[in-house]
Structures are given as structure tokens and as C-alpha cells.
Amino acid sequence: MNSKKTEWTAKWIRPKEPMGDACPVFSKTWQQEKTPESAVLYLTSLGVYVACINGNRVGDYVLAPGWTVYEKRLQYQEYDVTGLIREGENEIQITLGKGWYASPMPGWVEKEKQRKKERKTGILGELILSADGASNGRVIATDQTWKVSQGPVRFSEIYDGESFDATFVSDKEEEVCEFSWPIETLIPQQGEQIREMERVCAREIIHTPAGEWVVDFGQNITGYVEFTVDAHEGEQIKILHGEILGKDGNFYNENYRSAKAEINYVCREGKQTWHPRLTFFGFRYLKLAEFPEEPKAEQFTAIAVYSDMKRTGFIRTAHEGINQLFSNVLWGQKGNFLDVPTDCPQRDERLGWTGDAQTFTKVASYNFDVERFFRKWLRDLAADQLESGSVPQVVPNFLPDCRESAAWGDAATVCPWQMYMTYGNTSDLAEQFESMKKWVDFITQSTTTKCLWTGGEHFGDWLGLDSPPGSYRGASREDFIATAFYAHSTHLVVKAGRALGRDMSGYEELFQEIRKAFQKEYPEYLTQTEHVIAVWFELTEDSQKTADALAEMIVKDGTQIRTGFVGTPYILHVLSNYGHTDLAYTLLLREKYPSWLYPISKGATTIWEHWDGIMADGSLWSSDMNSFNHYSYGSVADWLYEEAAGIKPVEEAPGFAKARITPRPDKRLGWIDVSLSTRHGQIRSAWRYVGDSVRFEITTPVESEIVIGDRRETVMPGTYTYWG
């Protein structure tokens, strides 16, 4: 990481007179006697910026400076722009959109209330030009000598989209004014940069029964469309975004709720190619509400924009449905890891819901290298944590009233611990340790019953299939879940403290007391989720008995899952760890609703928020809560890594310094081939049925314990084959 720049000669600037919806373009020209030896631009904004020098784009960071708890931590970027500076006159131009900072977020709060807290955007930048032979170099810094004018971006907001007028010519330069914003809050880029990562060509143009032109990309993505059109000056383009087609085959996006997710474009004369630059959308389909000609697929490319994470996990199997499921999990992560782990990328939320991140953190860390991504977000979580230790439901916190919920606030402990397990970085764990403890202390201090977490308002087993009519919260008892997570978080604090060499006897005692109180208060378990977390968090007196009871309950329930956000991530793990691997596979491979594969039978290319977002008869779950890109249930893929292929970290040797490899084959899957790039090299575990026998092939770069059936052995780095 670059060292922090503490001295700034630049001043924060914004337009002196408000410009309404139009995005301001700040500019400065200067004379350069010779080209400099080096030129470095430091830049940040309240809002999102695109910078150009002499008409050339600076860097490839999309939606810079990213999304943090701006009031406390605002990233600036550093660009080497030596190649962009020339002899003679130079010009720097910076276009500024509202971005996350100033868009009316969250979108479901009434516009009136939003207006009251309207936030003004601005920029701060410094271009440092080294000696050019003729001068000693100089600094071009934002200050009141800069000019500002309206640009062709006439409107840009996170939820509502972008309007661009390609015919717009600014006829007026206006004054800027300086304003203050604490320099101490500035930090160098900490997360991964957001980039244009993939391009997806349009698959086909559909002429719907309602007579609409709809572009289908065949994949639900997050980003924006690039289109090319040959048009006359003044012709209009209006594009709407959607994730699915309705039952009737027509365009549908009521599930975006108040987010307009619209592109409005005024053409100039001739052939032109354009895409938005200051916002993003979640979409598979585009409705061309206005378009100057009959559209052709080759005119449209979807550009997937997400944090530049390196892919580390690969899973292939003989089962096409499972392969598609894994692809959906990956696309769910790409689409929702746009600087902050969000619930969804399309409707009027797109927020860093802590509970969603908590459920998905393990699989996220296997699929991609997310160490930097989570490092940044967890620093934001700590920054937004209240003095009391309470963790807001979303980070960065944008909700009108700050409240906490069990299984959501626990992101404070679960995510840092998972990062430590996957990457083994002690300093990141140490950074988060205070925040982890504060969360547990908060529960201890705020609960109404000692050692149980009672009271408070929780989301329960969110979207559990056993939810009582009219509720989203599952049938599991909220105090049960809250106490179980209280115990789990306390346990994680104990483990983290020990890993850091601290005396954890106080928290260890607390964990044991919560466990005892839990057992006394909850002698029986009423739902699938209650069984699952009692076992997985080591709270039940007899784990085997509880896991067996869970298996029985699942069969009684029709051999199907009834769990929501809380129980789903662990249900298959509990089954396979207690002798019910067969049932775990039955649930995994089930194709009828409710199941992970059911959405695939309906054409899903990302993970759905609801098990039945589209019902068997094609009708839709209510539009007020029906995202088709909500990664939480995609956590199931961590079972494929850890149980089906059996690749697991070892607590005493985090970051895969050692590994346990315990593959669990099943004939119905046929074969699996999984590889995981770790800090210590690539681990591969594959098995394949040959008749009734299974051939296992394992490659490990570290000392590993391999368990296959009853055989257990410790091996050194190498490749091993077994028959079972």
C-alpha cells in the first residue's frame, strides 16, 4: 500500500452556483515548457469522478474514489500520468457525479426526507509535475482559480441511472468555491480498484408480445451497457433495465421498486458508441423504450463492473445443474462485490447489508482473493460501529435509524475470523480485534437477560420457508438465534484473542456460561434452522443426537430445506459432518422447489433472493422483495469446496499453512474437480466414480491430513491417488 499523503496544498472545490442535476466538469489549463520527467495525480471526491488530461482518460478506475464511510475514511487515488502531459498547453478536466455520496440513498426513503439531507459534491486533487529541465516542477492543485462548466452528463444517480446529451456544448465557464472537509479523513486506496472486468455480447434481440424491443445478454450482470448507433442529431435513446421477463414474456422490472435504472441519451449526428460512466445497473435484459433504428444484437455489449479480485477457486463436476449453480454463485459475487458486499445490485437498496456479507464470506474468500476487499470493508464496519459496540445493519451506514440485529451485526466477528482462516493474516485480525470484542460487549451490556440475548429487534431466519404468513422472518425463535450468535461471536473472539496471544479467560468463561444458559433455556429445537445452529455453533449437549434429529425433521418436511439466511449456510455442513452426507447430496441435487437447483430450471444465471422468485407456474413473488441477484444462498458452494471436495483450512495453521482434505463422494454427482489457490500454493481435490469404485486424486502444496472413508493419513506436499 502507498504511504499516506499527509500534506495537501489543494483545496476542496465545488461549483459556486448549484448546477441542478447536471454533472459539473472542473477544469484547469496550464503551460508546460517541456514534458516533465514524471507527473503524479492525487485525486479524490465527494461523489464519483472521471478525470481526463488533454482528452485522455486518467486510469481505469470506475466509480472512483469508491465507497467508504466518507465522513471518517475517504480514499484518494494516485495515478502516474507522465505519459499524458505534453509540451505547451495542457488541460485537466474532472467530471463529477453524485455517486454513493450524494445520490438519495437508500432509495425507499421518501424523496422529501432525502432532499433535506441533500449533500453537495466536490473534488480535491493535486497534480505534481517534476522538474522539466526548464523549471523546478510545480503543483497544479484544485483551488478557486479552477473553472467549472456543465457537461454532457445531464443527470447521474446510483438508482435512477444516467442521462447524456451528446449534442451538449457548454457555453459558459463558471466560478468554483473552496470548502472545507477534514484532510485527516483521507486515506490511500485501500480496497481493490473497481474496473470494467468482463464484456458480454448481446445474445439476441427479442420482440416481445407487447411489441417491445428487448436485448437479452443471457447473463445477469452488474455494470452498464455499451451501445453503438448510427443516428441523426437530436434522436433519443431511452433504455430500461430488467433481470427477467414477466410471465407473459414481456419486459419486467417492478422488482427494482423505486429505482428507475434508466439511461437517456441524446444522439449527435453519425455513428457513435457510448456507455454510462458514473453509475451502474444490475440487469440481464434491456428494454429499448426509444431507439432510432431497428436494433441488432451486435450493437450492444454488457460491461461487467466489479472490484478487481483475483479468481482463486474453481469447481467442475459431471452435473450440469451444479456447474450452472456454481456459475451463478460466481456471478452473484461479481455483481455484488462492487467495492462493498451488497445485498443486490439492481433495486433501490444496493447496500452493504452486514447479514448477507456474513453468510457469504467463506465462499467469497474461496472463489476470489478478497483479502483487500474485506480489509477495507471491515475497517468501514469498525468506523461505523457505535460507541456502544452496536453494528449497523448496513455498512457504510445509510439507514435513517441505526439498529442492530443478530446474525447481521455478527459480521463484525464472522468475517474477520473467516479472512484469518482463509488467508492467515494476523495483522488484519489484530486490526479488527477491538471491533470484534466491542460487538460481544455490546450484546452483554444491552441484553435484558444475563447470558442470553433477549429483547431487541432482529431479522430472525430471514426469508426462511417456515415464515408465518405475512412475515419474512422464518419460524425460528428470534431470541434463540440471537443467543446462538451471541455464543458464536464470543467463541470467535476467544479464538481470535488466542491466535493473537492474548489472555482470553474472561471471554472463555463467558462463552461457557452462554452455552450453559442456552442449553437450559432451549432444551428442544423447533425448526431446521434451530437444529442447524445449535450443532454448528457447538451449543447442543449432544451434537450427534441433534444432527440426527435434524435429518429426521428434513425427511418429515418432505426432504426439503425450510431454512432462511441463518440456517442455509450451514445445513449441509451439519448433515455431512454427522453421518448424513447422503441426505446432504439429496438436498443439493433436488431440482423441485424449494432447492438450489430449482431456479436453474427457471433459467437463473445468478442466485435468487427467494427460493421461489419465479414460481412453478411462472408467476412472481411480490415485487417488493424479489431480487434475482442476491448472493446469500450461494453460500452453499462453500460446502462443495469443504465437503464434496473436502478442502478445509486447519484452525491451528490458518491460511492453509496446513490443510485437511476429506472428500465425500456421491455417485449422483459422478465426479468433481476442485482447485483452490491459497497463500501456500494450489490445492486440488478431485474424485470420479469408475463403476462402483471411486478414484481420488489430491495435490497439496502443504502438509495435509487426508481422510477418505476410514483411512486417515498425514502426507507431505505432493500428489496422491487413492481408490475407495
| CB-CB contact of 9 with 139 (8 Å) | yes
Q: How far is the CB of 399 from ligand BGC (least distance, A)?
A: 10
Whether the CA torsion 235, 240, 241, 242 is positive or negative: it is negative
Nearer residue to ligand BGC within complex by CB, 256 or 459:
459
Residue 459 touching ligand BGC (CB under 6 A): yes
- Rounded to a whole number of angstroms, the distance between the first and last alpha carbons of the chain is 48
Applying CB under 6 A, which part among 179-187, 352-360, 494-502, 527-535 lies near ligand BGC?
A: 352-360
User: Nearest distance from residue 587's CB to ligand BGC, in Å?
Assistant: 22
- Does residue 164 contact residue 266 with C-beta atoms inside 8 Å? yes
Q: Which stretch binds ligand BGC (CB under 6 A): 110-118, 348-356, 591-599, 709-717?
A: 348-356
Q: Which residues of 125-142 are buried (b: 16+ CB within 10 A; e: fewer)?
A: bbbbbeebeeeeeeebbb
**CB 332 to ligand BGC: min, Å:** 12
DSSP category for residue 650: B
Report the alpha-carbon distance of residue 513 to residue 508 in Å, rounded. Answer: 9
Torsion sign (Cα): 291, 294, 296, 297: positive
Give CA–CA dist 547/549, Å, rounded.
Answer: 5
Stretch touching ligand BGC by CB under 6 A, among 128-136, 246-254, 341-349, 638-646: 341-349
Cβ atoms 218, 200 nearer than 8 A: yes
**Residue 353 lies near ligand BGC (rule: CB under 6 A):** yes
Q: Which residue is nearest to ligand BGC (CB)?
A: 343
Site for ligand BGC contains 360 (CB under 6 A): no
Q: Which is nearer to ligand BGC, 142 or 358 (CB)?
A: 358
DSSP 688: E
Per CB under 6 A, contacts with ligand BGC among 613-632 are 630
- Report the residue number, 132 or 349, with the smaller CB distance to ligand BGC: 349
Residues 695-714 that bind ligand BGC (CB under 6 A): none
Output the smallest distance, CB 653 to ligand BGC, in A: 33
Would you please indicate which residues are annotated as catalytic (active-site) residues? 349, 609
Distance (Å, whole) CA 697 – CA 569:
27
Q: Tell me the closest approach of the beta carbon of residue 10 to ligand BGC, in angstroms.
A: 38
Determine if 611 is a binding residue for ligand BGC (CB under 6 A): no
Task: Give the integer Cα–Cα distance in Å for 36 and 577.
Answer: 64
- Nearest CB to ligand BGC, comparing residues 413 and 546: 413
117, containing H or E segment: none
Among residues 155 and 453, whose Cβ is nearest to ligand BGC?
453
How would DSSP label each residue in 580-644?
Answer: -HHHHHHHHH--SSSSSSHHHHTT-SS--SSTTSB-TTS-B--GGG--S--GGGGGGHHHIIIII
Cα separation, 267 vs 244, whole angstroms? 28
> Least distance from C-beta 623 to ligand BGC, angstroms?
13
Of 62-70, 309-317, 351-359, 500-508: span binding ligand BGC (CB under 6 A): 351-359
Contact 361, 415 (CB under 8 A): yes
Contact flag: residue 348 with ligand BGC (CB under 6 A): no
Report the residue number, 36 or 335, with the smaller CB distance to ligand BGC: 335
Dist CA 636 CA 572 (whole Å)? 8
- Grid cell, residue 144, equals 478557486
Q: Any contact of residue 97 with ligand BGC (CB under 6 A)?
A: no
Q: How far is the CB of 452 from ligand BGC (least distance, A)?
A: 22
Contact between 326 and ligand BGC per CB under 6 A: no
343 binds ligand BGC (CB under 6 A): yes
Q: Indicate the residue among 47 and 104 with the shorter CB distance to ligand BGC.
A: 104
Q: Is 349 in the site for ligand BGC (CB under 6 A)?
A: yes
List the one residue from 276, 335, 355, 416 that touches ligand BGC (CB under 6 A): 355
With a CB cutoff of 8 Å and minimum separation 6, the contacts of 94 are: 25, 26, 27, 43, 45, 49, 50, 51, 52, 123, 125
Instruction: Return the number of the residue (265 or 353) whose C-beta is nearest ligand BGC.
Output: 353
Residues that bind ligand BGC (CB under 6 A): 343-344, 349, 353, 355-356, 459, 462, 630
